[in-house]
Structure 1
Amino acid sequence: MGIEKALAKQGYLLSSVDFLTNWARENSMWPMPMGLACCAIEMMAFAGPKYDVSRFGSEVFRFSPRQADLMIVAGWTTYKMSHAIKRIWDQMPDPKWCIAMGACASTGGMHRVYGVVQGVDNFLPVDVYIPGCPPRPEAVIHALQTIQEKVRTEHSVLQD
């Protein structure tokens, strides 16, 4: 009988620090909503009771950047607003993740004018892009699950 089974019989649980911290992070994502345009309505629906986002641990929208670890940029961004969004992003503690929600946040959408940023990835590191105009709440849940999978497989130390 292996040492793991012997310890399990005695009531001990063996795990790694990476597994435990990633499990806690993955199941308690607190979004920082940046609802800038029409996609914000779908982001609000995503947080409502119909889609039950609390089963993913993300029902608590934090409006303080120091309490959030997931930024959802929903809608088109002007160059003036991009500086405020970047400042809020910089105030969020590490590790942090970003979702670009909708065609406008991802590529500028139909707003091909000089005052609109052609994708928030020009000033933020985006982890997941959600297509659509506006995307459905189910797509936001899928993006959240993608971020959770990314968190689940992260390692605190580089492995050879």
Structure 2
Amino acid sequence: MWQILHQITRVGIVTEAPPPVDDAVLAEASRIHQDLLAILGQALTIRQVDAGSCNGCELEIHALNNPYYNIEGLGIRFAASPRHADMLLVTGPVSRHMEEALRRAHEAMPEPKLVVAVGDCGCDGGIFGESHASCGKVGNVIPVDATIPGCPPAPIEILRGILTAVKRQP
């Protein structure tokens, strides 16, 4: 133990340098937030459903809640129930086991229902496609308002896709 402490005091804590702050991305994220709130008024509630993904898209969606993007601080939040959601954010190819659950989540949402398919798998089935275990893209199970391609898409792209879906809302 003393050897480790001695090494820490001699060398110091070695970590990577923080990533540089990209002012263009921050400005774009702020503009997208303002556009969303101007359209929605006060807030947007999202129910995220993993329909069979590898969790790559979920990691990027969770990044939206970090201090860099801070969507919850601007009135966009995630809900545990589709009954309280304005938008359904679906990731992954829809597995046969999740097909009925996805339909039920969609039916439980109040009108107007917005659905966004995230990632290549949600948009077109990705590398999984359609098979005995997979229904393929989200659009094969429920109607989709917007798609966000990428494997996985960056958080800023997810924000753009959400804005696209909200702008299409009547």
TM > 0.5 fold call: yes
Q: Secondary structure at the match of 2:94?
A: coil
What does 1:66-105 correspond to in 2, within 5 Å? Answer: 66-105=83-122
Q: Take 1:24 and 1:139, find their aligned partners in 2: how far apart are those partners? A: 18
Q: Take 2:65 and 2:158, find their aligned partners in 1: how far apart are those partners? A: 10
Larger radius of gyration: 2
Runs in 1 of length 4+ with deviation above 6 angstroms?
none
Name the structure 1 match of 2:144. Answer: 126
What value does the CA root-mean-square deviation take over the aligned residues?
2.0
Q: Please tell me whether the aligned partners of residues 135 and 141 of structure 2 are also in contact (alpha carbons under 8 angstroms).
A: no
Q: Take 2:151 and 2:60, find their aligned partners in 1: how far apart are those partners? A: 10
Name the structure 1 match of 2:162. Answer: 144
Q: Please tell me whether the aligned partners of residues 79 and 115 of structure 1 are also in contact (alpha carbons under 8 angstroms).
A: yes
What does 1:8-47 correspond to in 2, within 5 Å? Answer: 25=40, 27-35=42-50, 36-37=52-53, 38=55, 39-47=57-65
Aligned residues: 130
What are the ranges of 5 or more consecutive residues in structure 2 without an aligned counterpart? 1-36
Q: Take 2:122 and 2:42, find their aligned partners in 1: how far apart are those partners? A: 25
Normalised to the residue count of structure 2, the TM-score between the two structures is 0.69
Change over 3 Å in CA distance of 1:24–1:131 after alignment to 2: closer
Q: Secondary structure at the match of 1:44?
A: helix
Normalised to the residue count of structure 1, the TM-score between the two structures is 0.73
Q: Please tell me whether the aligned partners of residues 42 and 136 of structure 1 are also in contact (alpha carbons under 8 angstroms).
A: yes
Q: Please tell me whether the aligned partners of residues 106 and 119 of structure 1 are also in contact (alpha carbons under 8 angstroms).
A: yes
Aligned residues with identical type, % of pairs: 30
Name the structure 2 match of 1:54. Answer: 72
Q: Which has the higher strand share?
A: 2
